[in-house]
Every structure is written in C-alpha cells, then in structure tokens.
Structure 1
C-alpha cells in the first residue's frame, strides 16, 4: 500500500499472502504478469510526484486523510467484488489490524507527506529503496529469521549506496557535518521506512488467517480513523473550492492508483511467480520515481543519485536471492 506507500509508495511490502498464493507455479508466467508488475512499480514511483504536489497545497494530515478516504472506499468495493465482503475479526485480529493501520497507514503517511515538504521527490524515492533491507534486518532481530552471508553482503552494499545518496556523493565529508546531509526530510523518510518495516512484520506475525485484501482493507480503515482524528480541526479550515485540480488529481492518484490498483497487480504477480521473484521488481520503484521527478517536476538527477541507486538496487537484489534447496539424501 504505498504508501506510500502505503508499499503506498509507496509505498513496497504489504502483509504476506497465504503460502498457497505465494508459491510459484511450474508453468512459465504469461508476459501480462510481468507487465503488471512493472506497471505496479511505475505507479508506486509516481506516488512521490503526487505526494510532492499534494503536500505543497495541503497540511500533511489532511492530504493523508483524503488519500485514504479514497483508498478505503475503493478497497471496500474490491473486497466485496473479489471476496464477497470482509470477514469478522477475532480480538487478536482486531488488535493486529489496528496496529497495521497505526504503523503502515497513519505514521507512515505522516512521515511520507512530511518528507515531501522538505526534500525533492526523486531523493525520497531513492530512500524508499531501503524498505526491503530494513525489513530484512528487523525480521532477523524480531522474528529471528536467519540471514545468510549473501544477504548480509547485500544489506551492506545497499547501505553503502544509501550513504552515497544521502551525502550526495561525499560520505567522508558528511562525517564532519552530518546536518548538511541528514536533515528533517531525510529523517522523516527513515521514519517512514521504519514504519513500513513494522507494518510488514506485524502482517507476517499476526494476520495469517486473513487474505491480503481483507488485511489491507482493515488496515486502511483503521488508518483512516486515526488520520481523521488527527486532522479533524484542520479539515474544517480548508477552503476546498480553492484547491486546484492538480491537487485533486494527485490525491486521487495516491488513493486509487498508488494504493488500490498497485496492490491488486502486485499480488497477482506474487501469486503467479512467487514473493521472492516479485520482490526484485521493487528495484524499479526508485528508477521510476527519479525519472518521473525529472520529467514532471524538473528535478535534477545527480551523479551520486545514480551511483548510489545502482548500489542500493544491487544490494536489494542480493538480499532477496533465495538459495536453491539442497537435493534430497539418497
């Protein structure tokens, strides 16, 4: 849910699908599956441009509330159309979905929209590429998931790339004055990544009995509830007739395309080719984010962004590589 994600671009990882859905099929996946995965990452890359436009015209909490009001309505329609509605939750699931909404929707979007008011969209898109790395580290600490030497190497490579991006190509120089490289916007993006890692781990640990659509819809509803509470005073003070069509288009894009359509296409890809192979497509999100920011917003593309982005993408690819199973003993 991108978040932006809320995966919302930004959002990049939603609660894990049931094992039966995540198992790759033996037959080759049709090209349409790969096309949808690419289109999904393109939509998530576009959330940074839309977020930049919306955050420049509306308060952070208001922009996030409108985004998820749109997303929640569409997700309810999708849940009704594909699954006949939402299942009744147990107390444990009710608490888990509330935590999902708090971490992956409410807090993530506050950090995401807040960062968009301080740093360029392309720079933010490169930060979000660290999502799988931070999630893998958090899973190793919290869920005791084992990290192989190859995955540790990928994590290290990704963090070197991130350091190049954050410091604009001068990691050593940044040690003398870290405030020149790590400002409010960068800290907010790191906060957004941490919130998304928490969202992913909660989904893995507590929502095994819910489908991805049901879990995401409940999380969106909880997130919308928290966002509405936080923005109640500001919502009444907005002069809505003065909000331009570009802002409305950006909010609709974030709610519909960046959240709902991206989510559906992503899980179609996971179902067809497996979660590990689909995860590699996440590397395209910062590529599209930087490219669209340059084309639409006229943001410069620095050499450090390209070099660091390549290293981050390589690190994420290594981290997501799965070793082949050992042959059975004779």
Structure 2
C-alpha cells in the first residue's frame, strides 16, 4: 500500500483556507462594486489561468459533443452564474462568518437531492447525519433562538440567508450535473468550459451594470480580492482539490470541506472584526458533525 504524500493533505488544508477566504474577499467586493461586474472580473481572471492550465497539462481543450455543450452550459449557469450572484448578494447583506457556515449544508442538500431525483438509498446513519446537520444550520440561522422559527420565520430568515440558501441550491445543481451529465471530459476541461459559459452569462449582466460602477471604488483591496477569488478561490483551489480526489478518493477529500466554514468564521473575525456568536460555534459543530456522519458511509 502506497503512503500518501503529506503535501496532498497540506494542499487540501490550503484549499479549505482559500475557500474560507473567498467569503472575506467576497464581502470586500460585494459592498463596493456591482455584483455582476465583480463576478465577471473573478471569472475573467480564472478563465485566463484555466485556459493556460488546460493548454499546458492537456494540450488544449477538446471539441465538445452536443451533449457536452449542454452539460457544460448547465454547469456554467448553475455553479458559476447563479452561485456567484447569490453568493455576492448574500455577502452584501450578512456577515462573512455566518455565510460561510451555510456552505456546510451543501453535501447534505446534495445527498437529499440525489435521494429524491435518482432514488439513491439513504441508510439510517445518513438520515441521522442529515437531521443533525439541519439542526445545526437552524441554530446558526436563528442565532440560537430555535423557537423563533415556529413564531415568525421572517424574524430569523433575512434576505441574506435566503440568498445563501439559493447559493447552496445552485451548488447542489452544479454537483449533480457534474456527476451525471459529463461523459469523457477531464475535470480541467469541464471546469474551463463551465467557467467560460459562466463568464459569458456574467458579462451580459456586467454590461448592464457598468453605469452603476464607481471607478473610485476600484481600490487595491477590491482588485486584490477579485484576483484572489479568481486565482486562489477558483483555479488553485480546483487543481489541488482534484489532485486530492485522484490521490485519496472523493469521500476522504470531501472531509476537508468541513474546514471551509471553520476558516471562513476565523478569518472573518481576524480580518473583518466580525463577532463570533456562541450559536455560530454550536450550530457549526453540529452541522460539521452531521456532514461527517453522512459522508462516513459514502464510497
């Protein structure tokens, strides 16, 4: 049995750190410039590097079949266009730390969607994990006041929370499409095509938002945040994540996703001076425990 190089685990921890950092970068960008312009900037940077990567590693991009065109467009529309609009809209309206905790729900929502759409069987352990994760999410959303949901949902669910839940839904659609719709495409090719489709859709929206752009707000912090989102949050994160999938398998790699909200909350406290609520810690621990339980029986 081959020993896994330590560098693989180190890279996966860095991926979680980068993805946790996207909430801080997204918060900086979303409060200063129009969302479509910010997201288009992110994927313009990402596409340049992804195209260079595809050329260097795989000698360029393959020609797509009709089915692959539809599939990669679906990936671009859900995981890039819709996700980024909802992600930035949420970060404009709520703290980065709270937003990061919502991401822990992605594997749970994906498991539920697979069960409903593809009749994938979920055993007792998975259902228990899903239940624990949802209780954890409810604790975060309601800031520990679970009874408020029974009395008044709008009291605990602001527009920021709704946008973040929509972002989780978009990412779930992206994940399922990626699993079932892509045949014969490498992860680099699939991600590059998805990013190009996403950039095309975002650019159409960005053109309409140009009159709303205040160029004085394009400070070095905002531009650095866009570059960080494009290079570290998209390209390097994706390459190292798939390196992990290839080396230690998808189930063990997915466990590192549990570190994303941990880094997101920690960085938002350190860099944005956001307060960490007890409900965020308790809810976050419950959600991560639930996700771990659900993933434990995944192969």
Which interval holds the TM-score relative to the shorter structure?
Answer: over 0.9
Counterpart of 2:203 in structure 1 is 228
**Gap runs ≥5 in structure 2:** none
1:53 to 28, 43, 52: 28
Deviations 1:31-60 (A, max 9, x none): 111000000000000000000000011011
Aligned residue number for residue 168 of structure 1? 143
Structure 1 unaligned segments of length 5 or more: list them: 1-25, 325-330
Match of 1:135 in 2: 110
The question of 1:95 aligning with 2:70 is answered yes
**Higher helix content, 1 or 2:** 2
- 1:1-330 to 2 correspondence within 5 Å? 26-235=1-210, 238-240=213-215, 242-322=217-297
- The answer to which of 144-153 and 219-228 deviates more is 144-153
Alignment RMSD: 1.2
Find the aligned partners of 1:222 and 1:282 in 2 and give their Cα distance: 26
C-alpha distance in 2 between matches for 1:173 and 1:237:
38
CA distance in 2, matches of 1:323, 1:296: 36
TM-score (norm 1): 0.88
Cα deviation, residue 68, structure 1: 0.7
* Deviation for aligned residue 1:322: 2.5
Runs (4+) of structure 1 exceeding 3 A deviation are 239-242
Q: How many residues align structurally?
A: 299
**For 1:266 and 1:275, how far apart are their aligned partners in 2?**
9
Cα distance in 2 between the residues matched to 1:323 and 1:276? 6
CA distance in structure 1 between the aligned counterparts of 2:143 and 2:216, rounded to whole angstroms: 40
Alignment partners' CA distance in 1, 2:223 and 2:66: 37
State the TM-score, normalizing by the size of structure 2. Answer: 0.97
**3-state DSSP class of the match of 2:264?**
helix
CA distance, structure 1, for counterparts of residue 58 and residue 110 of structure 2: 29
d(CA) in 1 for partners of 2:176, 2:232 = 24
CA deviations 1:266-292 (Å, max 9, x no partner) are: 011111111001111110000000000
Q: Tell me the distance in 2 between the aligned counterparts of 1:219 and 1:96.
A: 9
Deviations 1:49-92 (A, max 9, x none): 00000001101111111111111111111111111111000000
Cα deviation, residue 323, structure 1: 6.8
Q: Secondary structure at the match of 2:151?
A: coil
Aligned to 1:9: none
Q: CA deviation at 1:235?
A: 2.7
Q: Structure 1, residues 116-151: CA drift from partner, whole Å, max 9, x if none?
A: 110000000000110110011111111222211111
